[in-house]
DNA sequence: AAGACGGGGAC
DNA sequence: GTCCCAGTCTT
């Protein structure tokens, strides 16, 4: 089977699966502010989406925009974020981002090279900004999307996702679709409930027919 | 390339 | 008790 066929099979099956299995989060609603989108992505780092969902709405109510965050006391932000884990880092990152955004009158640079210069703007969040704010077909490539792609297509060569050209290329191809955002969300939701790190549910998987991991492990359903 | 950051939920 | 989670920066 050609790679392009394998890719379109994955896209269509995942989008179909997503229709009836998607998770609903506040940060996926339409018409969010840039602030709301970026806050969600920082809070989600290395943290389960379900955990973030418990405090995200309250956070946005308490700190509705960059100004309010910039005027807040760092310790208070830390305290609020404590249940989410990595709270000192997240509080500090949000505070620094707020400082940058206030100083730049709330404007985000459109050039990727300039975007990368923002404090704590790593590859993942920069992709998320381009996808959700600038409507570009960029992947939400985290360890979960990486795992799904690697099981289906085969493992990467380098340990660091960001520097593996094979994985980067695959991720770009899989989200090169008119419903790019939904493809990324579908993969994330799919990775959380079916293609889990531990005990993946291969016998309930709509991709197993073409999945390399499924073949290699001779899974019998 | 490896370490640090981290509480909470799943198993 | 152990593993894992919409990463990123520092050493």
- pLDDT tens per residue across span A163-210: 999 999 999 999 999 999 999 999 999 999 999 999 999 999 999 999
Nucleotide nearest to A122 (CA to C1'): C8
Q: Which nucleotides of B are covered by protein (CB under 7 A)?
A: 1-2, 5-9, 11
Spatial contact of A93 and A119, defined as CB atoms under 8 Å apart = yes
Structural domain that includes position A17: 3-23+138-216
A64-119 tens-digit pLDDT: 999 999 999 999 999 999 999 999 999 999 999 999 999 999 999 999 999 999 99
**Residue A122 covered by a domain:** yes
Number of structural domains chain A divides into: 2
Q: Which nucleotides of C are covered by protein (CB under 7 A)?
A: 3-9
Pairwise CA distance, residues A174 & A168, whole Å: 10
* A54, pLDDT greater than 90: yes
Q: What are the helix (H) ranges across A84-194? A: 87-103, 112-115, 123-132, 143-153, 165-174, 180-193
Residue A181 Cα to chain centre, angstroms:
10
Domain co-membership, A126 together with A171: no
Pairwise CA distance, residues A46 & A122, whole Å: 13
**Residue A221 covered by a domain:** no
Domain co-membership, A143 together with A182: yes
Question: Which residue in A197, A211, A182 sits closest to A30, CA to CA?
Answer: A182
Question: Which residue in A49, A46, A16, A5 sits closest to A152, CA to CA?
Answer: A5
* A57, pLDDT greater than 90: yes
Domain co-membership, A201 together with A142: yes
Domain co-membership, A128 together with A156: no
Domain co-membership, A44 together with A110: yes
State phi, psi for A45 to the nearest 5 degrees.
-60, 125
Would you place residue A1 in the very low, low, confident or very high pLDDT band (cuts 50, 70, 90)? confident
Boundary residue ending a domain (A132, A158, A180):
A132
Boundary residue ending a domain (A101, A132, A163):
A132
* A16, pLDDT greater than 90: yes
Whether any strand C atom is under 7 angstroms from the Cβ of A46: the reply reads yes
Nucleotide nearest to A48 (CA to C1'): C5
Those residues with Cβ within 8 angstroms of residue A97's Cβ, 6 or more apart along the chain or in another chain: A38, A42, A66, A118, A119, A120
Domain co-membership, A128 together with A144: no
**Residue A151 covered by a domain:** yes
Domain co-membership, A106 together with A184: no
Pairwise CA distance, residues A97 & A217, whole Å: 45
Residue A47: CB atoms within 10 A of its CB come to 17
Domain co-membership, A54 together with A126: yes
Domain co-membership, A81 together with A19: no
A110-147 tens-digit pLDDT: 999 999 999 999 999 999 999 999 999 999 999 999 99
We report the CATH number of the domain holding residue A69 as 1.10.340.30
Domain co-membership, A112 together with A168: no
A17-28 tens-digit pLDDT: 999 999 999 999
**Residue A174 covered by a domain:** yes
Residue nearest to nucleotide C9 (CA to C1'): A120
Query: Average pLDDT, whole number, for chain A?
Result: 97
- Which tokens belong to A167? 């994985």
Domain co-membership, A43 together with A128: yes
Boundary residue ending a domain (A114, A132, A150):
A132
Domain co-membership, A80 together with A142: no
């Amino acid at each position: 089977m050609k790679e392009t066929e394998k890719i379109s099979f994955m896209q269509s099956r995942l989008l179909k699966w997503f229709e009836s299995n998607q998770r609903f989060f506040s940060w996926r609603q339409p018409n969010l502010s840039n602030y709301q989108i970026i806050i969600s992505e920082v809070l989600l780092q290395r943290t389960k989406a379900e955990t973030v969902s418990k405090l995200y709405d309250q956070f946005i109510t308490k700190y509705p925009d960059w100004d309010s965050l910039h005027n807040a006391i760092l310790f208070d932000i830390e305290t609020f974020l404590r249940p989410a884990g990595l709270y000192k880092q997240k509080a500090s990152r949000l505070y620094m981002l707020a400082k940058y955004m206030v100083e730049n009158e709330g404007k985000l640079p459109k050039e990727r090279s300039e975007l990368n210069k923002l404090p704590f703007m790593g590859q993942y969040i920069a992709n998320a900004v381009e996808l959700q704010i600038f409507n570009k077909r960029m992947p939400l490539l985290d360890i979960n999307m990486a795992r799904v792609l690697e099981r289906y297509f085969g493992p990467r060569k380098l340990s660091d996702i960001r520097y593996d050209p094979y994985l980067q290329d695959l991720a770009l191809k899989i989200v090169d679709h008119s419903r790019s955002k939904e493809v990324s969300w579908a993969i994330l939701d799919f990775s959380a409930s079916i293609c889990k790190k531990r005990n993946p549910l291969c016998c309930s998987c709509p991709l197993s027919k073409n999945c390399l991991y499924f073949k290699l492990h001779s899974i019998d359903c």
